[in-house]
Structure 1
Amino acid sequence: MRLSFSFFLAVAATTQAFVPGPVRLPSRGASLMAPKVGRTAGWSRLMAMKDVGVGIIGAGRIGIVHLEALAGCPSAIPVIISNPTVAKAQEAAVKFNVREFTDDAMKVIQHPDVDAVWICSPSQYHADQIKACAAAGKHVFCEKPIATGLAETIEAINTCREAGVKLMTALQRRFDPNFARVKRAILEGEVGNVVSVKLTSRDPSPPPFEYVRGGGGIFKDMAVHDLDMSRFLMGTEPESILALGSCHIDERIGSLPGAEAFDTAVVIVKYPGGKTATIDVCRQAPYGYDQRAEVLGLKGMIATDNMYPNTARIFTKDSTRNADLPYDFFMSRYKDAYLQETKEFVKCLSEDGPVPCTGEDGLIALVMAIAAEKSALEGRWVDFKEIPINAIHCDPSGTHCELNEMEASSMNGGRKREAVKGWIKDAAPSPSSGSWLKDAVSFIKKADEEAAAEDIKEKAKAF
């Protein structure tokens, strides 16, 4: 059976009677009311436009983070915001000068003045909302993950391709000035050929238990950023992974099923040539938000340390220390990164340029997280060939995909499978590739990698 292509959005179904339609706030500036032109589907609608009309789905914590970033991007014009609890949408609209607010996500997607939609809703709604955006000809900026499952993720990517709209996965660490400088050092050979990467990611305190329960587990919810960063810094595709998980902070977490039972984890990712990335994550670090990276090369090493609100230090006869703790969480630590990723996506829309962090990047990060979870639960190295990406079959359009459970269960690391045609819509094979990912995800081409590397190199010079 095919997966349903449903445009029904559960996030918007709770209070329809309370707010019969979008509520328009008084304009605070003539620019907000400027008429839009070229209302056709896809990127061509933006060719005659300087500004990009933005709709936002979700006024929760991450929605507010993105609204703050949009406020720092003059060419992005917030048009409408939705939230099931309409009072939160109204509060955000007033604070960030958004013209309209509603409780209905579909009103955001179908708004005639919206060119691109920022999806900041709970993860389980992402795939359907992306498909609805594609059907409406709206470009998509989606918080990770694109979807909670592989088949749904592939459907969302293919649907956007079929509709000719751009899809960006919000993996903001790629745009952080510190990580950008590390990447630049690698690309320009300042540390020589890379030998190993080390990444540390520790939250100042664990999220509410209700969030952890049903949140996807520490690898999909938290370590996915570090898994993506290891691939971003290595500049190549991983081969296998080993993960260990444990529970130390909250015994209630330890009683949860699967990888949700872990609040602490260590991961080793093996890359071609024996290169490794080591990642440690923990949901609690009392000394502050711990975000560090180190890259060892044959000519040297580059590292990035934690960021502090100020440079003040205290000197006494007993000790020397920073006056304050590091930034307390991702909202403040990655403020510049959120702004930069927003500017880059808006620029790519205005100029019809390449998407800086694609849906495929989000898919690969999800595959890595699934493999890490499998490794931790089974206590062994996991080859990425074991993840049943080739047991996913799509119809000719690529927009209806499903996982063949029997086929998936028969797969193992030593068995090679032919990549499924149509897995990613309009993707050309890459016969020269020998890696698991390039065999299965044929949209990654050598020419694309070289172009992307040059693009990253140029952008990194700005930091």
Structure 2
Amino acid sequence: MEATVSTRDAGFGVPTGPEPEVRRVGLLGCGRIGRLHAGLLADTPGFTVAGVADAVPEAARAVSASTGAPLMSIDEVLASPDVDTVAICTSTDTHVDLVVAAARAGKAIFCEKPLSLSLAEVDRALAAVEAAGVPFMVGFNRRFDPGHASVRDAVRKGEVGDLHVLRITSRDPAPPPPAYVAVSGGMFLDMVIHDFDMAGFIVASPVVEVYARGAVRVDPLIGQAGDIDTAVTMLVHEDGTLTTIDNSREAVYGFDQRIEAFGSGGVAVSDNPSRHAGWRRTAEATIGQPLPWFFLERYHESYRREWVAFHDYVVGGGDSPSGTDAVRSCTAIALAAGLSLREGRPVRVDEIG
């Protein structure tokens, strides 16, 4: 069972009440996503960055300078009595070994997605977490977007009646470089895994079957790297609910993220925010603002709320906001989607393992 979004936020998501217990975080990985999390941790009550480590010394020094945290090696972070929590923001191929080592060291663990490109490796990491009994959460930040969470709440409260169809649109503004695509694990594990998680987050029924189609419609170099850049996936849930997901690596108008839950009693929608609320109207047209261009613009608040929820979970106990059930399910669905694409047929999730 996965927990819901934190209830500690009040109004605009600012923690209220007494000063929270401080968790001392060792940041592993100081690249783009590591720098993002370093800034969020510095601004979120209940956290302090207690050490930083990266294989690239310049990256580690930059984050150390911005946070005041000491430079350490990974082994030093894991052994330090001044670190009780680790944030794993390194490359995907290192995640499992770091999760296993952190679990054995008794640290609470936050790990960026995906945990691994292999279900067997995911299981190895999760076995270590469960054996150690340490708190564990994967960074599926979109669960904490207020709009997306409102759709989940409407569905779970029965406000759309019996859910019939969940529709998810997820399109990036520009494709990644082919060199990144070649090592990403493919579109389903790298990009669409967020949407697979959203399906599990909103629909209270596991996915049993996956049918995926894909194409190269944006950049031929992505195809040459062995991947696709355009996809449509249908998920069949155990209770009969259907989820449809469409993805593109290039939406020229901005970062396009929408969700619609349609049921017997109505519909709940999470739409795109504009860059700001200003607009104008003339006799000829209504002119509004464009969409956010970068994922950090679109989801900055969800990343912040993610850390608030993680703190509540680590300090207060209960279920992980996005824990072992979520990460294993999403990985299995992504692998089933890849098999479906290759073989041109629906694939049952239990074929994957």
Fold shared per TM-score above 0.5 = yes
Match for 1:349: what amino acid?
Answer: V
Q: Deviations over 1:268-298 (max 9, x none)?
A: 1011343200000111001000000001010
CA distance in 2, matches of 1:353, 1:230: 22
Which residue in the other structure is 2:14 paired with?
none
Is residue 72 from structure 1 mapped to residue 43 from structure 2 by the alignment?
A: yes
Moved more, 308-317 or 174-183: 308-317
1:87 aligns with 2:58: yes
Deviation of residue 382 (structure 1)? 0.8
Q: Deviations over 1:24-54 (max 9, x none)?
A: xxxxxxxxxxxxxxxxxxxxxxxxx921110
- Which of 295, 307, 312 does residue 330 from structure 1 map onto? 295
In structure 2, C-alpha distance between the alignment counterparts of 1:377 and 1:79, rounded to whole Å: 45
Moved more, 62-71 or 175-184: 62-71
- The one-letter code sitting in structure 2 at the alignment partner of 1:92 is V
Q: Which amino acid is 1:342 matched to? A: W
Does residue 242 (structure 1) correspond to residue 242 (structure 2)? The answer is no
Q: Distance in 2 between matches of 1:150 and 1:59?
A: 26
- Equivalent residues in 2 for 1:40-439 (5 A)? 50-95=21-66, 97-102=67-72, 104-257=73-226, 260=227, 262-322=228-288, 324-387=289-352, 389=353
Equivalence for 1:392 = none
Are the counterparts in 1 of residues 200 and 326 from structure 2 also a CA contact under 8 Å?
no
Letter in 1 for 2:333: M
Per-residue deviation, 1:317: 2.9
Shift of 1:320: 0.9
Distance 2:133 2:230 in 1: 41
| Paired letter, 1:131 | V
Greater than 4 Å deviation, 4+ residue runs? none
Q: Give how far 1:346 is off.
A: 1.3
Is the 8 Å Cα contact of residues 56 and 81 (structure 1) preserved in structure 2? yes
TM-score normalized by structure 2?
Answer: 0.92
1:98 shift after superposition:
3.5
- Give 3-state SS (helix, strand or coil) of 1:216's partner: coil
Once the two structures are superposed, what CA deviation does each residue of 1:66-112 show, in whole Å capped at 9, x if it has no partner?
122212321111111111111111111222x232124x222222222
CA RMSD of aligned residues (A): 1.3
Identity among equivalent positions (%) equals 35
Distance 1:116 1:91 in 2: 21
Output the CA distance in 2 between the equivalents of 1:362 and 1:98: 32
For 1:305 and 1:321, the matched residues in 2 are separated by: 18
Structure 1 residue 316 displacement after superposition: 2.7
Q: Is the 8 A contact 2:141 2:306 kept in 1?
A: yes
Q: Give, in whole Å, the separation in 1 of the partners of 2:64 and 2:312.
A: 24
User: Which is further off, 115-124 or 358-367?
Assistant: 358-367
1:436-463 CA-to-partner distances (Å, cap 9, x unmatched) read xxxxxxxxxxxxxxxxxxxxxxxxxxxx
The size of the alignment, in residue pairs, is 334
8 Å Cα contact 1:53/1:76 also seen in 2: yes
The higher radius of gyration belongs to: 1
Query: Contact conserved, 1:266 with 1:281, CA < 8 A, in 2?
Result: yes
Deviation at 1:331, TM superposition (A): 1.0
Over residues 201-260 of structure 1, what are the superposed CA-to-partner deviations in whole Å (9 max), with x where a residue is unaligned? 000101111111121100000000001111211111011111001001111111233xx2
The residue identity in structure 2 corresponding to 1:66 is H
User: What secondary structure is seen at the aligned counterpart in 2 of 1:84?
Assistant: coil
Return the alpha-carbon distance in structure 2 between the equivalents of residues 384 and 66 of structure 1.
Answer: 33
For the residue of structure 1 that corresponds to 2:109, the secondary structure is: strand
Hey, what's the Cα distance between the residues in 2 that align with 1:80 and 1:129?
15
Asked if the contact 1:347/1:353 (under 8 Å) is kept, the reply is no
The CA distance in 1 between the partners of 2:224 and 2:177, in whole Å, is 15
- From the superposition, tell whether residues 98 and 235 of structure 1 become closer, same or farther in structure 2 (CA, over 3 Å): farther
Question: Residues of 1 paired with 2:112 and 2:263: CA distance?
Answer: 32
Contact 2:156 2:202 in 1 (8 A): no
Counterparts of 1:355 and 1:304 in 2: how far apart (Å)?
A: 24
The whole-number CA distance in structure 1 between the counterparts of 2:216 and 2:282 is 38
2:216 aligned partner, one-letter code: C
List runs of 5+ in structure 1 lacking aligned partners: 1-48, 390-463
Letter in 1 for 2:196: L
Indicate conservation of the 8 Å contact 1:146/1:359, yes or no: no
* SS, match of residue 306 in structure 1: coil
